Amino acid sequence: MKCEENFVPLPSMYQKTNLTLNIMADKTPTPHIGAKYGEIAPTVIMAGDPLRAKLMAERYLENPVLYNQVRGMLGYTGMYKGKRISVQGHGMGIPSIGIYSYELFNFYDVKTIIRVGSAGSMHPDLHIGDLVMAMGACTNSAYAMQFHLPGIYAPIADFDLLRSAVEKAEELGYNYKVGNVYSSDTFYDDSPDTDQWQKMGVLAVEMEAPALYMNAARSGARALCICTISDSLITGEVTTAEERQNSFTKMMDVAFGII
């Protein structure tokens, strides 16, 4: 990922010195996030749609403060059950969440990001409103090439977050499945091959998880992607944009419930 010429590489999140933190503070606000260092909580719940972030701030946070509206990508910090939490939009696609999560991890000292988003079902038992916990993320993206790895990297969720999310979903009685998602760079695909991914047991298709998981791994941080089924590639079920924005709250209940 390209940065300013005077960018100083950062060590693992858990090895930062005071000098490093000063460097981070000097780099904020970033080109994409208008917050100053310290205005964003260590835990951030992200959504592709910035209006979903606004909904989360209004629904879950006490005294939310708007810290970002650059490019309309709303971000808020407030209190949830005594804990300081931020919510932030990340836009659509791997490049977009790649930028926002990178800046949060590396310039704002964020230690945990949970993405809540929509996904298309590729499994006959996953229907509109059901949850998918992305244990791993297959992809057609070349995002991992920047790391110059001598093989194919498998982006995975943080296990403790994943386990907690499963326990919370069961406690709340929500329908869910855990497994692989397929994260595509293309929404309109000239040569769709979803049946090939179905054969490998992939549960659903979305567009962001691998970049989030890779940035978390590279930064020594934690990440999890929880998706709500918004449509089905099998049955043809669909939802409206308004339903996706306002009614997919089960994944939010789980995300806030595990922090």
158 is catalytic: no
| Residues 136 and 217 sit within 8 Å (Cβ to Cβ) | no
Q: How many CB atoms lie within 10 A of CB 23?
A: 19
> How far apart, in whole angstroms, are the C-alpha atoms of residue 28 and residue 257?
30
Which residue among the candidates 130, 158, 231, 253 is catalytic per the annotation? Answer: 231
Q: How many CB atoms lie within 10 A of CB 13?
A: 19
> How far apart, in whole angstroms, are the C-alpha atoms of residue 204 and residue 138?
10
> How far apart, in whole angstroms, are the C-alpha atoms of residue 68 and residue 53?
11
> How far apart, in whole angstroms, are the C-alpha atoms of residue 213 and residue 201?
20
CA neighbor of 78 nearest in space, from 51, 48, 58: 58
> How far apart, in whole angstroms, are the C-alpha atoms of residue 243 and residue 70?
25
Catalytically active residues are 231
